[in-house]
Amino acid sequence: MAIRDGILLVDKPSGMTSHDVVNFTRKNLGTRRIGHTGILDPNATGLLVLLVERGTLFSSFLTGMPKRYYARFKFGIATDTYDADGQVTSTSDPGNVPRRQFEELLGNFRGEIEQAIPTFSAVKRGGKTFHKLARKGVQFNPGLKVVEIKNIGIIEYDWPEAVLDIKCSSGTYVRSLAHQMGASLGCGGYLKSLRRTEVGPFRISEAHTLEDISRSREPLKLLRPLREALPSSPLIRIKPQYCGAVINGRPLVKRYIGENEYSGEGGVLSVLLGPDEKVLALAKLNMQWRSLERMGPSDIMGTYVRVIDEGHIGAK
């Protein structure tokens, strides 16, 4: 079976890096053109969204989507990495924090917050990677970043541990949340375990284990269509005779359009599909057109955000 474009949802096991999982799927799918949309630490488990073939061109859209995690925090201990992999830097009696008091604490971490960037992280500044500097014992201030905690709630509560359901913006360090909560309580805290359950529109319940992939006689049938990467974007189908024109980046005009789901104001990111349901391009329609019906057959509809062809990406 020929390699096709698509999205593969994988349930990453503990003990593997995200790159290990990518290499595993490359071998089983028979292609090297596979990328991920956000790494998980080796001891973390859960949803990895892998993009296959032309799907890799969607990476920037999916990388920035919100994430959801189940996270176990332990209090009374702090580590230098803010998680279970680090060296213990302090221990303290966590006392007895009633659930109601802890729920009140969670309220301080909802919405936009400033978050401490871990010194042991992949962030680069001035060409230097933080975790490499930290392992050399270099002292530096990693700084703060603004993230959004869209929702945070308690799943299990057995003090001094709590399992939390956290929905957050891309780029949030869940281990920093544990560290900051521990600091607020005055006893320290760290991330004991982490499982990612959602990335944008995708859910862990839809993911395949590595065993599923290796046992499948036709693993390519596990791929999901690329158009699912942008579920809220209108689908606009291009007439077969004009697919080549779209792929070649010629001006997008009304006569190219067959069926479409577009309505409302322009400027909305839209997915242009060929007759085989393959994604041809992403485009934003002109703001002056509130309805395609008001357009003339030769009016320029808008601008391509991405023109997708075998190995080609461009902005027109």
Specify whether the CB–CB gap between 11 and 208 falls below 8 A: yes
C-alpha–C-alpha distance, residues 178 and 176, integer Å: 5
Burial 219-243 (b: 16+ CB within 10 A, else e): bbebbbebbbbbeebbbbbbeeebb
**How far, in whole angstroms, is CA 7 from its chain's centroid?**
13
CA-based nearest residue to 277, from 235, 219, 233: 235
Neighbour tally for 141: CB within 10 Å = 8
Residues for the chain: how many in total? 316
Residue 277 neighbours by CB under 8 Å, 6+ apart: 225, 227
Neighbour tally for 140: CB within 10 Å = 11
Residues forming the active site: 41
Specify whether the CB–CB gap between 96 and 159 falls below 8 A: yes
Specify whether the CB–CB gap between 52 and 31 falls below 8 A: yes
